[in-house]
Amino acid sequence: MPRPLSIDSLRLQEQIDALAAISEAPPPVVTRVLFSEADLRGRAFVKELCQQAGLKLHEDAIGNLFARWPGKDGQLAPIATGSHIDAIPNAGPYDGVVGVLGALEAIRALKRNGFELRRTIELIIFTAEEPTRFGIGCLGSRLLSGSLSPERAAALSDTEKQTLEQWRHKAGYAGRPLNSVLLPKGVYAGFVELHIEQGPLLEQENLAIGIVEKIAGPSTLRVQLTGVGGHAGAVLMPERHDALLAGAEIALAVEQAALNSGSRDTVATTGVFRIEPGAVNSVPCRACLEIDLRDTQSSTRDAALLRIEKAVPEICRRRGIDFDVERLNMDAPALCDPALVSTILEVCRELKLPAKTMISRAYHDSLFMAQICPTTMIFIPCRGGVSHRPDEYSSPEQIANGVLVLAHTLAKLTS
Amino acid sequence: MPRPLSIDSLRLQEQIDALAAISEAPPPVVTRVLFSEADLRGRAFVKELCQQAGLKLHEDAIGNLFARWPGKDGQLAPIATGSHIDAIPNAGPYDGVVGVLGALEAIRALKRNGFELRRTIELIIFTAEEPTRFGIGCLGSRLLSGSLSPERAAALSDTEKQTLEQWRHKAGYAGRPLNSVLLPKGVYAGFVELHIEQGPLLEQENLAIGIVEKIAGPSTLRVQLTGVGGHAGAVLMPERHDALLAGAEIALAVEQAALNSGSRDTVATTGVFRIEPGAVNSVPCRACLEIDLRDTQSSTRDAALLRIEKAVPEICRRRGIDFDVERLNMDAPALCDPALVSTILEVCRELKLPAKTMISRAYHDSLFMAQICPTTMIFIPCRGGVSHRPDEYSSPEQIANGVLVLAHTLAKLTS
């Protein structure tokens, strides 16, 4: 490296703030649901910044954005980095964004430094890491890695029965078919994702950096319940088939399945719970639940999943409710690449930044990138471990540490 | 009566169908929430029909519409009839509407017949019988009867924090203050509301007419729960304060409170259950429940209510959830006027229509009109007892029977 790398923390923070202001809801709330007007404006903002940094852009048929800094040796597989900018309703400014705008700052820092690449660097902004619109997360990286078939993806539909294919048309990505998104294994020599921890451990242990060895595998269930509606005054209690009450029992069974899995790492959440008609004087006739279940081990997670899938018919039969249970996804945990992990640990030692290896309980596009290339993640602390909330926060210094580690890692991997 | 009354069933059905088509949702769903564009168009449609029938119109400051057929003796207190046209989301065409358009057809039938009124007839179309927007039903009749203070009404707010006062301005009813809505006791000599039963009894017993002796008293609770959100992957189970799970336990406690009240007439329903942020990978941080509780006796209902109000803090303390419980309304059951009930029973005998007296489990504007004048209701059968659903149905013949009984009753009371 010609001279020490310096991170422009101020500019990076301004860009993070500017992107946070591009939201479907007023500040401090960040909401950028896939292909919403805010999501599209956010994409345009990032593209503009990538162009200003001199990167070459292309987008694929699901809207994954690739921003390339070509290396001298075109024969070598590139090193990739990146994350996502979509945000669930009522989210904060840092989840995903730090791995996009931070990686861009890492690239700018290397360029300012006069660093010469042998191997190409590719910054990837993945489409829809969050599962908000279709109940399934990591749409972009799933399709890119072959973990989701183009046929299944095209048929995904949102609560308004609009399909992914219709949304893709609306957003202007339908020029090519979805099957063109798939990338061959080995297309990248490695993938490193910078991300906030979304958990409290780094902050509690006063560490600057976490390097991810393992990513918990998520599975998602959608449970649809159909009972019998009616007037809340006129239908006597013994005659009821109330879809909400079946849903309430199921949500509590989901909690019990995680608490009794035998592993403290099993977590289960009913995050979506919608009822119809949703009027105070009407017996709920329908309920739709979406359930997220994760663990660092497939065995305990899958046992909890089976327990939930067994509880649903028991509850519904007793209450006279029709039900439909769909496994939206069921992904295996991922092991990260030990060589990449060692490289980053070494970078941290050189930079004198306190670091440790850790497990990611949240899942990420890295879970799917791990299927096509050596992968790991760089975590930075976030206040109180809080994420997916407007008060999500990492300090400019904490972010700068992560960006510096990423920049040095990219330099090592591409020189 | 100069000659037998005849009901124009065909015209009435056309008008019911035309009003059903004025909806926020596509057919067969009827949705007309208070002061929505569909509600305002529905009001305009009814006003036009009233004018065509030669009635004199005025509206009060909450949008209650009064359509008057003046009698010869202006000194006599009028007889009132009427109902509502607002509809909960995903409702059907008959609830309320039969008592508005049916009463209008009864008036037209009397006019066609050459009937001469001594006492004035006033058709009232009440504002917001359904509690959809503000969580409290019978806004118009509550204000008119003094059961709700203008101050409390003005401060009611919907889920978007828009107050009733703001909505009243938007809808164009804010020319006069809300306290001008109140009517003095005895302003009407009687009130008779025609309505579908919203229960299965008349159909099961093959009866044409039910005459209401008692109306069940409703009470409504709003329970707001605030837990701690977070990432569904990162927050371990023992650290959670999930607002949805507290809500699920409360909804099940509501059911138990009704089942164990000691009276088969106690019904309790959690009809509104909204969570935030409502994303599959996010622990729910907030939940809002609206609970409807009714009985024909205040004592058993209030005991169930207290049981629910006791369960909420127990559940929330155990789960570390902040809670707020608000009694939106707590109305006493109403006794109908025995003389009016007898008059209508006599009309049914004369018309040879099989009838019986009964209890209304659903509540109605009549519950509040009973506070200012002698009141009863005429029920007609509806298929399967179904209401508040798009497949709600009463046949043209069933409706015509109700209209005929109403017309003869109005004639007896005003001649």
This prediction has a pTM of 0.78
How far, in whole angstroms, is CA A343 from its chain's centroid?
24
Q: Whose CA is closest to A203, among A101, A356, A84? A: A356
Residue carrying structure tokens 């990492």: A394
Contact B50, B23 (CB under 8 A): no
Percent of chain B beyond pLDDT 70? 100
Q: Do B271 and A285 touch (CB under 8 A)?
A: no
Closest Cβ–Cβ partner in B197, B264, B386 for A230: B386
Mean pLDDT over each residue of chain B, to the nearest integer:
95
Q: What is the reported pLDDT for B310?
A: 97
pLDDT of residue A2: 60
Contact check, Cβ <8 Å, B267/A232: yes
Mutate to test the interface with B, among A156, A281, A329, A330 (most CBs of B within 10 A): A281
Partner residues linked to A210 by β-bridges: A356, A379
Q: Is A288 on the interface with B (CB under 8 A)?
A: no
Give the pLDDT confidence score for residue A316 in this predicted structure.
98
Taking only Cα atoms into account, the Rg of chain A, rounded to an integer number of angstroms, comes to 22
* Closest alpha carbon within chain A to B130: A281
Contact A285 B231 (CB under 8 A): no
Buried b (16+ CB within 10 A) or exposed e, A354-380: ebbbbbbbbbbbbbbbbbbbbbbbbbb
Pick the residue from chain B with its C-alpha nearest to A218.
B233
With a cut of 70, say whether residue B266 has pLDDT above it: yes
Residue B2: pLDDT band by 50, 70, 90 thresholds? Answer: low
Average pLDDT over residues B410-414: 97
Residue stretches of chain A with pLDDT short of 70 = 1-2
> Is residue B13 classed exposed, middle or buried when 0-12, 13-18 and 19+ CB atoms within 10 A define those classes?
middle
Exposure on the CB side of residue B275, measured as CA atoms within 13 A: 31
pLDDT band for B208, please (50, 70, 90 cuts): very high
d(CA B139, CA B131): 8
Q: Minimal CA–CA distance to B228: which of A383, A387, A192, A193?
A: A387
User: Under an 8 A CB cutoff, do A269 and B281 touch?
Assistant: yes
* Locus of tokens 């992957």: B233
Q: What is the pLDDT of residues B222-235, one digit of tens each?
A: 999 999 998 898 88
Tokens 């422009």 belong to residue: A8
Give the Cβ contact number of residue B309 at 10 Å. Answer: 14
| Whole-number pLDDT of residue B342 | 98
At B136, phi and psi to the nearest 5?
Answer: -135, 130
The alpha helices in A113-240, defined as continuous H runs, are 139-145, 150-155, 164-171, 201-205
Report which secondary-structure segment, H or E, holds B288.
strand B286-295
Phi, psi for A82 (deg, rounded to 5): 145, 180
Provide the angle, in degrees to the nearest 10, between the axes of the packed helices B97-112 and B37-52: 10
Q: How many residues does chain A have?
A: 415
Q: A267 has which bridge partners?
A: A294
pLDDT for res A4:
84
> B79 CB contacts (<8 Å, ≥6 apart)?
B119, B120, B121, B122, B188, B189, B190, B191, B192, B410, B413, B414
Helix boundaries (H) for A113-149:
139-145
**Cβ contact (<8 Å) for A281 and B271?**
yes
Asked if B215 has any chain A CB less than 8 Å from its own CB, the reply is no
Q: Does B249 touch chain A (CB under 8 A)?
A: yes
> Chain B contacts of A137, Cβ < 8 Å?
280-281
CB contact at 8 A, A243 and A323: no
> Taking CB atoms and an 8 Å cutoff, what residues of chain A touch B274?
278
Residues 6+ apart with CB under 8 A from A362: A198, A199, A216, A387, B231, B233, B234, B281
Q: What's the rounded Cα separation, in Å, for the pair A249 and A245?
A: 6
In sequence order, which ranges of B146-223 are alpha helices (DSSP H)? 150-155, 164-171, 201-204
B320 touches chain A (CB under 8 A): no
Measuring CA to CA, how many Å separate A74 from each of A82, A299, A408, A414, B326?
21, 43, 21, 12, 68
What proportion of chain B, given as a percentage, has pLDDT over 90? 87
Which CA distances in Å does B290 have to B159, B215, B272, B367, B384? 12, 21, 5, 21, 26
pLDDT of residue B1: 67
| Residue B122 DSSP label | E
Give yes or no for A251 touching B (CB within 8 A): yes
Q: Which two tokens stand for residue B48?
A: 């036009």
Q: Is B313 in a helix, a strand, or coil?
A: helix
- Quote the minimal CA–CA distance from A7 to chain B in Å: 29
Closest CA relative to residue A89, chosen from A147, A18, A34: A34
The backbone region for A296, taken as left when phi is positive above 0, alpha when psi lies in -120 to 50, beta otherwise, is: alpha
Name the residue among A130, A134, A128 with its Cα closest to residue A157.
Answer: A134
Question: From CA B9, how far away is CA B15, in angstroms rounded?
Answer: 10
